[in-house]
Structures are given as structure tokens and as C-alpha cells.
Chain A
Amino acid sequence: MTISFTINGVPKSVEADGNTPLLWVVRDTLDLKGTKFGCGKAACGACTLHVDGEAIRSCSYPVKFAEGKNITTIEGLAEDGKPHPVQQAWIEEIVPQCGYCQPGFMMATAALLEKIPNPTDEDIDNNIVNVCRCATYYRMRKAIHRAAVIKNTNS
């Protein structure tokens, strides 16, 4: 079937089996490789992207549900050549190690900050539930708080 959506501000139409996970359409068909495969069962969050502003685990999201929707991936998080506050904070805290899970964490964090502009540690614990095997959680927590400050200062 043909599925049409907007991704990172660009309208796209793709031919795919409607049950194909959105992740594979994004990675293999549209060649946006920043969104990662981790488990295929929505258990780790490496594939997190935004559909209409909501953080979605795209490995378990059939592409047919993306029809007419607005998708943002890590490649589209920065605006006007400026890093997103979350990316800015991630750079300032030097968060990534291997880096593989980081786009998923940043997408989850960006969505969290839209809902809760000043998350407490408890908010972070309850909402940021992705898996990082390098265990960069300590710096991520600092970066999330920092991102909130950057975002609130900018706006």
C-alpha cells in the first residue's frame, strides 16, 4: 500500500506492506539511519522517534498508522541549523559513549520536555525508561535538567 506522511518537515509517500514497522521504513526505505534498532519489541527505546509530537517506539508501530501524520527523527530534531536544547545539553554534558541508544534517549527527552518543562528526578525516572548498556544514566540525568534550563531560557 501507499502511505503518505511528513517526515522532518518533508512530505513523503512510500510503498510498503502496511504492517511493516515504521522503523524499517525510516531506516531502510528513507535511509534515515539515526533511529536505531535495538530489540524489535518496544522494550529498549533505541528506535524512539516522534509521531505528531508523541514519543513512539517505531520498531513496534506499523507504518500504516503513520498515514497523514507528522514524524520527527533525530535528523530533524535540530532547527534552523541550531541544535535542539536536548542536543545542546547532551553536548555540554558529553553524554554519549558508544552512542547507539542516544538518539532514542534524546527523542524521549525532547518529548518529555514538551509535556513537563521542568521535570523532577522522579519525572525523569518515570518517563525516561530506555536502555543504555554503557549506562550513561548519570550524565543523561544532568543533561535532561540542563536541557530544561536551555529550553526555558530560549523560549
Chain B
Amino acid sequence: MSEHKTKKKFSRRKFIIRSAIGTGVAIGAVYFTRPVWRRSIAGFANTAELPYNGSTDEPRIWFEVTADNQVILNSPKVEMGQGTFTGLAQIAADELEIDIRQIKVIHAPTESGNIDGMSTGGSLSIVGLWQPLRELAATMREMLKAGAAKMLDADPGSLKVAQGVVSGNGKSLTYGEIVKAVKEWEIPDTPPLKDVSEYKFVGKPIPRVDLEDKVYGTSMFGMDATLPNMLYGAVAHSSRIGAKYVGADTSKAEKMPGVVKVVKENDFVGVVATTRMEAELAKNAIDVGWEVDRNWQSEDIEEMIRVGKGEPVTIQKSGRAKRILNNEEDVVTAEFKSPIGAHAQMEPNGALAHVEGDKATVYISTQVVKLTRDEVADRLGLKAENVNIVPTYLGGGFGRRLHTPNAMQAALLSQAVGQPVKCFFNRKEEFQNDTFRPPTHHIMRGKLDEKGNIKAIEHSLSSGDVMFGSPLFPAIAGSIVGADLGAWRGGMIQYRGIPNYRAVSWRVKLPFATSWWRSLGLLANTFAIESFMDELALKAGRDPVQFRLDHIQDDEAGYRLREVIKAAAKRSNYKDEVVNGRAMGFAASTDANTPCAQVAEVSIQDNEIKVHKVTCAIDPGFAVNPDQVRAQCEGAIVMGQSAAMYERMFVKDGQLLPTIYGPYRMALMKDAPKEIDVVILENGDAPGAVGEPPLGPIAAAIANAAFRLTGERLREMPLEA
């Protein structure tokens, strides 16, 4: 990474200065980017990336310098555990020439103007802000130096800066002193950015900036937000799929203790009370009318999710795979399935809203700050600029908080009573109103040539909606991009050394909400493709690692994929043999340009698969914080293991079940591998995606290992030995 070069041209930008209340000076910038939609759709189509959607024309406040020489960074991206705040602090501190302890990262409230037009998601926060944040921080440093030069009567070139103190002409000034004194700011051209080798914090395993608050229990999550005179709300939800609200008898609820008001809207009924328990009990006393048109069962859903049903879109094509696989002998075919998955993030969805006249403030855990604001504004008939969304730490995101109708409901309840109202799902509501990971069905077909190389391969996928289920994408996106890009994330053949390959996606609209779940289609698609690669390798009598290497094309992506495969095999001392009842399984994937390979070491104990160790090699291009790259890999591996081995929602008599942890079985301490060994390669020129790519290989790695112990292919998640 030492040969890092800044390839991108500097973006156009314009700085604004204003005094900030109670602090020193706020420095904002308009960071111009291409029109939001064109860029996101084009970017998404190429790489499944949702870029940073920085800008309209509004000024946005990035930094505030305080009198005591601290810098507050208003982050347009939210912190949901992925470590983004820490990465941003490292990047800004290095270009600002301040210590990491002098910077405080906060969630930018929408009133600051620093709003991400899209979302926090897609593993792209650091990817998207790497360039803009360095430019902004470097420019601000130069502005401060220019101000200091005048104050110190020194030549700007002679000034030295360290720890937020500018020295020259025998004197020194803190940034805090400079911003207090300077009235007229000179805004310089963006200075050259530092070489990565000069950075003190970037590239180092700096402890998380939110670490101590989280250990002492003082971080504020959405559910922790409180306002004076706050009341508690509860909204009635049907447990039935597709239920339509048709009215309610609230006479009993109105007389319940603590009830302040029963609120009836066109599409829901809720209650406001003085305590949470009173609100919950009163809600349960409402006799709600629901219209349900069908009693859905799991079999109905399985019937819908089948390759061959609905409309196909060819998402990848090279050579004549279809013709070969349709006409030649000895074609290997295998089917795979994955179930409905719940997000099950620990903090339920909800919000604290305070509507006062034509203004509203909402505290919420959200991944879509702008969408949350616009939905509240639209529903209440308020101007968007009069709605201030205050994002908090998220008690898990995983894509669940890309849908936030709870904000609008809390706001309507608050408007009805004229006081702040906090309104959250209970856990059953959380499970039944999830925006689930869609179930999938895959058919893999492959044909080996006489030398045992793959002559043709095809992946056909049927999935519920992912991107098409999201309010983030207008209907028009579907017609531009054709297939659901979320569903087929990870669904293309990454071994482009194969002469003939093809991938086809079949879209299915399910009767319940399915959408973004960490890594989207990557988990299930890689499970199918990489299990099948293993089958083909064994059929060809080849080593599974070498077999993969032999089918990788010679280009940059191929080089990086090959390197992680070799690194994982070497580090794990991979051998395709059973030793002491343990076997190794190999799998690799490429997601959002980040290749990742994993080796799972597995045994069978009491008819259950036990994962002892996972070795992971990943190449995010460049690691801003190697410790947090490691942490994301460790977490993604176990979350992926959990989905692969235990998790499954089912549909019974019109209800999505189960509705509680435990029955919704997830990996616990006893299940997680006791060893996770992560190797980080850096064969790129900028930071790449980290949060989701390591979810790719794990399901196939475990299934491939289990096959060596049982002799049976596991083709359905959750995997059962």
C-alpha cells in the first residue's frame, strides 16, 4: 500500500463558515457529486455498490472546532457496530494533524445538513468517504494554518502543525484559539493529500472510538433517548401475513389505566399512555379489525420460490453455457435452498418523536436518515427542513433499519397528544414485521471437459425481492437494472477463466416483506456456487483449492482472488483429508470487489455439525483499521455460521414464526468456533468493502467440510448432518 496513489481527481467543493452555538466555528462544505440516482444505479449495476451520495446543493457541516481544541466530526454515516466512526476519526485526525483523542465523532442530525442521500449500508461507508473526508480535513487544516499565519505574522510555509497546535515565529496557537479569532477565512485549493506511509492512525489497529462508552453502558441507542414529559406509545400490529387494518373498537382501551389517548389513523391504531406497560396493556385491549385474504403456509412459499417461475433475467453470460449444458452428456446438476431469515438485531425498532406545531424531532436508530426524515415530513405534512432526525447508535443494523416506518408512527402519536412519545416494537412484533432475508432456490449445472476442467457452468437463482422490496429504490430502478441486484449479489460466477458461464435470476414477489439482510444474496448464492465447485472438483479428482485457482482469469480481480485463496489454504494448512474426526471445507467469494476465502474445520458430534476453527483470508484493498477488519470478519463468520446452521423462519396458518430468540435458534457462545484466524491482504489502492464480504464463503465452507465426514451433500440451509 506504500505505493498508494490518489487516482481520483479532486471533486468540486465549496466551503462555508458559520459560528456554531456553544462551540467555536463550524466548517461546512458542499461536496458536489454526480446526480444521486444516476450514480447509484450505475455504480450498483457494476459492483453492487451503493456509493456515498454526498450532495445536493445544501451546505453541510462536517467539522466543528471547539474552544478547548477538540474537533467534532458530524458523520453522515451511522455507527451500527461496523466501526465506521473509528475509521472516520482515524482518517480525519491524520489529515487535520490532531491526535485521535482530540476528535469526537457524532451522528450528524439532519438539521446539520450533512445528510447521506442514500443509506449507511453496502459495506461502503469508509469506501465512500475515504477521498472526500481526507480532502475536507486537509483543506480545513490549511484554512487554520492560513488564519494562524496572519495571527502569528509568519510565513505560512514556515508553520508547523502537531496535535492541533500551529507553531511559527516562536509562538504557537491552538486550533481552538485560531477559530475564535479569525473572522475572514481564506479557502485554499485542496492541498495534496498525505501519502499513506505518513499517516499515524490510518492503517493502524486503533481501539474503537466508541469502545469505552459501550463498555461502561453510557452510549445512547434509539431506545435510550428520553425527553422531559415523555409519554409511551404502542401501535397495534397483526400477527397475520398480509393483514389489512379495517378499523378498531377502542372503547375498552380508552378506559385502561394510564391511557392518555387512543389514536386512530387510516392505516393503524395506537395508544399513548404514561408508562410503557400501560401502553402495552391498553394496546392489547383494542379490538382491531384485520382483513386477511389468505392463510399462508410454508409450503405455499416454497412452491413460489422455484427456478423456472416468474420472469428470468440473464445477469451474466460468456460463451455458450446454455447450449452446452442443454445438449451435452454428463452434465452435473445440483439444487440448493436457503430459508427465510430474520434480522433479529438486539434493539427493536422504534423511535422517540416530538412534534411541536410545524416542527418535529425524531431520535431513532436508522440506516436511512434522509428517507426517515422525508417519510415523517410527508406523512405529517411538514416541510422536510422542519423535521430533524437525530440518529443514535444502532443496536444492530444488518439492513433492518433501512425501513423505518416506526418514526412516522411515533410522530403521529406525538402530534396527537402534543408531547414527546416513545414507541417501540415488542419482540414478537419485531419478528413478525421484519423485512426478511428472502428464501432462495438455486439450480447449478456444470460440465467438465476431458481434462477435468470446467467447460461450462450455470447458476439459476430464484429469490424473493431484496432491492425491489426497498423504498430506497424507486420503481424506475427496476426497469433500468432489470434483475434484483440485491438478490443476485454474489450470484455471478467469479471464476471467469471458465470458457462458458452463465447466471440467471428469477424474481418472486412474496406476500410478506423481504429486503436487505447483511450481505444480501451473497450468503445463499455463495453457498450454492461454492458447494457446487467442490462437487465438480471431487468429480474431476482434483484438489479443491487448486481446482479453483485453475479456473481464475488473469486480471486484477483474478489476481486478488487467487491471492486470498492461496493465503487461506496456506494459513490453515489446508488438506483434503479427515484427521482425528475433523475435516476441512474450503470456499471463496468476491463481494463488492473484496475477495474472501475461508476454511472451516468441522467435526460431527452427536449428529450435529461442530465448527472448531475458521481461517479467513480477505483483501479489502487497504485496511484503514486492521483490528476492525478482523472484528468484522469474526462477526460475519459467526453470523453467517448462525444463518447457515440454525436459523429458519417458517410460515404456519398465516403467521411468520417463531417470534422469540431460542425458538429462533441462533449461534450462541457454545456454537461459535473457538478459533478464528484472519489474514488481511492489501492488494488494492484504496479501502474496500469489509462488513459484508466475509459472510460469503462460510456456509459452503462448513457444508463442504461436513460432506467429507458424512459422504452426503448438504444442499439446504440450515445445514443438518
Contacts and interface: CB of A to CB of B under 8 A. Distances in A.
Contacts of B276: 24, 28
Interface in B384-441: 393-398, 424, 426-427
Nearest to B672: A137
A67 B634 CA distance: 42
Interface string A55-89: 00000000000000000011100100001000100
Contact of A101 (B213, B346, B627): B346
A100 B396 contact: yes
Interface in A1-56: 17, 20-21, 24, 27-28, 31, 33-41, 43-44, 46
A34 B631 contact: no
B82 A97 contact: yes
Contacts of A101: 346, 395
Interface in B592-643: 627, 631, 634-639, 642
Contact of B347 (A74, A100, A125): A100
B667 A99 contact: no
B669 A137 contact: yes
Contacts of A118: none
Contact of B661 (A28, A36, A43, A103): A43
A104 to B, nearest CB: 9
B634 A139 contact: yes
Contacts of A41: 427, 660
B603 to A, nearest CB: 15
- Interface on chain B toward A: helix, strand, loop, or mixed SS? loop
A101 B223 CA distance: 13
Interface stretch (B185-193, B204-212, B574-582, B699-707): B204-212
Contacts of A17: 277
Contacts of B627: 94
A117 interface: no
Given A134-B639, A135-B634, A40 B670 contact: no
Nearest to A101: B346
Interface stretch (B214-222, B506-514, B558-566): B214-222
B211 A94 contact: yes
B697 interface: no
B217 A136 contact: no
A96 B211 contact: yes
A98 B215 contact: no
A99 B631 contact: no
Contacts of B213: 99
A149 interface: no
A87 B83 contact: no
A150 interface: no
Contact of A129 (B214, B275, B669): B669
A91 interface: yes
Contacts of B81: 96-99, 134
B237 to A, nearest CB: 15
Given A28-B275, A102-B214, A138 B395 contact: no
A133 B217 contact: no
Given A41-B660, A131-B661, A140-B669, A87 B216 contact: yes
B29 to A, nearest CB: 29
B224 interface: yes
A106 interface: yes
A100 B637 CA distance: 19
B662 interface: yes
- Contact size range, B: 35 or more
A141 interface: yes
A111 interface: no
A126 interface: yes
Nearest to B79: A98
Contacts of B669: 124-125, 128-130, 137, 140-141
Contacts of A91: 207, 211-212, 215
A34 B216 contact: yes
B344 A133 contact: yes
A74 B224 contact: no
B371 interface: no
A36 B208 contact: no
Contact of B207 (A73, A75, A94, A132): A94
Contacts of B221: 36, 100
Contact of A138 (B207, B344, B348, B673): B673
A133 B223 contact: no
Contacts of B638: 135, 137-138
A9 to B, nearest CB: 16
A143 to B, nearest CB: 10
Contacts of A44: 346, 661
Given A39-B660, A94-B627, A136 B635 contact: yes
A24 B275 contact: yes
A110 B218 CA distance: 18
A77 to B, nearest CB: 8
B427 A33 contact: no
A136 B634 contact: yes
Nearest to B398: A133
B345 interface: yes
B666 interface: yes
Contacts of A135: 634-639, 642, 667, 672
A34 B393 CA distance: 13
Nearest to B400: A133
B676 interface: yes
Interface string B668-707: 1110111010000000000000000000000000000000
A80 to B, nearest CB: 14
Given A98-B393, A99-B393, A135-B642, A33 B220 contact: yes
A92 to B, nearest CB: 9
Interface of A: 17, 20-21, 24, 27-28, 31, 33-41, 43-44, 46, 73-75, 78, 83, 87, 90-91, 94-103, 106, 121, 124-126, 128-141
8 contacts: A36-B347, A40-B426, A43-B660, A83-B216, A96-B208, A106-B215, A134-B81, A137-B669
The list of the 4 closest CB pairs from A to B, nearest first, reads A34-B217, A98-B81, A100-B395, A97-B81
